[in-house]
A = this chain, B = another copy of it.
Amino acid sequence: MTKAHGFHQHDHAACISDALTTAEAYCAARKLQFTPVRRRTLEVLLAHHRTMGAYEVLGHLDASGFGAQPPVAYRALDFLVKHGFAHKVEAMNAYVACSHSGAQHVPAFLICRQCSTVQEAQIEPMQNGLGDAANDAGFAIERAVVEAQGLCPSCQQSAPE
């Protein structure tokens, strides 16, 4: 089975199991607890393959027999984000599975304002002008949020305006 990945097609089932395997290995190596809720949360994000609100994720966790209260979802999502298995798209207050599991990177997103599809890109941390500004100011960057909003290829055709 294939499904849209960013704005392309790909083998969705393999991508899910690969990401889970990678996360499992990463956690095992660092003695992190890849618990059932956390695993299920990542599965949910991977399966949907788009940004999801915390409450939408929570609905799936509840349906899977986990707790039904917000902290259940927020804690699992925080764990995934902290360890790089997922990202928070700040401009949407939503979460998405990482497309480059395990790799250390500065995530950047191309967010379609029409269909809400999000493609994750990678950028060079210090090559974006921000690094220079930070150096000039003596600011120590710990984390960067880079998000572009606009129209994806298919929405440019359906709504070129």
Which residues of the partner chain B approach A156 to less than 8 Å between Cβ atoms? 138, 140
Query: Does A137 sit within 8 A of B, measured CB to CB?
Result: yes
Q: Are B128 and A146 in contact (CB under 8 A)?
A: yes
Within 8 A of B (CB), among A134-148: 134, 137-148
Which residues of the partner chain B approach A139 to less than 8 Å between Cβ atoms? 7, 110, 112, 119, 148, 150-153
Q: How many residues of A contact B (CB 8 A)?
A: 38
- Name the one of B108, B124, B151 contacting A140, with C-beta atoms under 8 angstroms: B151
What are 6 A-B pairs at a CB distance below 8 A? A108-B129, A119-B139, A121-B137, A123-B130, A128-B129, A139-B153
Chain B: minimal CB distance from A129 (Å): 3
Q: Are B137 and A144 in contact (CB under 8 A)?
A: no
Which residues of the partner chain B approach A7 to less than 8 Å between Cβ atoms? 137-139
CA distance A52 to B153 in the complex (A): 36
Q: Are A108 and B124 in contact (CB under 8 A)?
A: no
Question: 16 other contacts beyond A7-B139, A91-B145, with CB at 8 A cut-off?
Answer: A90-B147, A110-B133, A110-B134, A110-B139, A121-B130, A121-B134, A122-B133, A123-B129, A123-B130, A124-B129, A127-B128, A128-B146, A134-B150, A139-B148, A140-B151, A144-B146
Q: Are B6 and A145 in contact (CB under 8 A)?
A: no
Which residues of the partner chain B approach A153 to less than 8 Å between Cβ atoms? 137-139
Within 8 A of B (CB), among A93-122: 93, 108, 110, 112-113, 119, 121-122
